[in-house]
Structure 1
Amino acid sequence: MMLIPCPWCGPRNETEFHYGGQAEVSYPAEPHATSDADWAEFLFFRANPKGVFAERWNHQAGCRRWFDIRRDTRTNEILHDDRAVTR
């Protein structure tokens, strides 16, 4: 079991959350001028590192809000720092 710290509800069981993928992925600056290959890269290709990784999570069974966390993919440790982003 992994406890995920929701910024609004506090630590909750991972079963209450929905994984939203890699965080900090920038939307193309000029979407109308972006090629199909670049759109495919943006939509479907993400990093899969071994180590610290920024992720998006949605507290689906709670406040239903989205937030970013940094998690070590080797140990599932959630890193607590001032860079947490909420949206």
Structure 2
Amino acid sequence: MMLIPCPFCGKRNESEFIFGGAVGADRPDPNSVNDAEWVEYLTVAPNPLGPVQERWWHARGCSEWVTIWRDTRTHDIVEAPDDSE
């Protein structure tokens, strides 16, 4: 179980959150890429090893979006907006 630090609610169980995905490149304009590039963008999720910046929605809490850095090898949160609680 991960404890995700919410700047409003403190550390909360990951079951209260919905994963919003890695923070990454902006969505390409579908009119400026070919079909293969568009399909790859829609279907292939990056899966890097190490620290990744992620967005999580506190759906069963304050309904705010939280951005964290999580190490994908260990699931440890290596940096958080407010880790005081």
TM-score using structure 2 length: 0.77
Structure 1 match to 2:78:
79
Q: After superposition, what is the alpha-carbon deviation per residue over 1:6-56, rounded to whole angstroms, capped at 9, x for unaligned?
A: 23322101110111222223111x332222212112112122122111222
Quick one: which amino acid aligns to residue 48 of structure 2? P
Identity fraction in percent: 49
- Quote the offset at 1:81 in angstroms: 5.7
Matches within 5 A, 1:1-87: 1-28=1-28, 30-80=29-79
Question: Where has structure 1 moved over 3 Å in runs of 4 or more?
Answer: none
TM-score using structure 1 length: 0.76
Distance in 1 of aligned mates of 2:19 and 2:50 = 17
Give ranges in structure 1 of 5+ residues lacking alignment: 83-87
| 1:67/1:36 CA distance change after superposition, 3 Å | farther
What's the RMSD between the two structures over aligned residues?
1.9
Highest RCO, 1 vs 2 (Cα 8 Å, sep ≥ 6): 2
| 1:68/1:24 CA distance change after superposition, 3 Å | farther
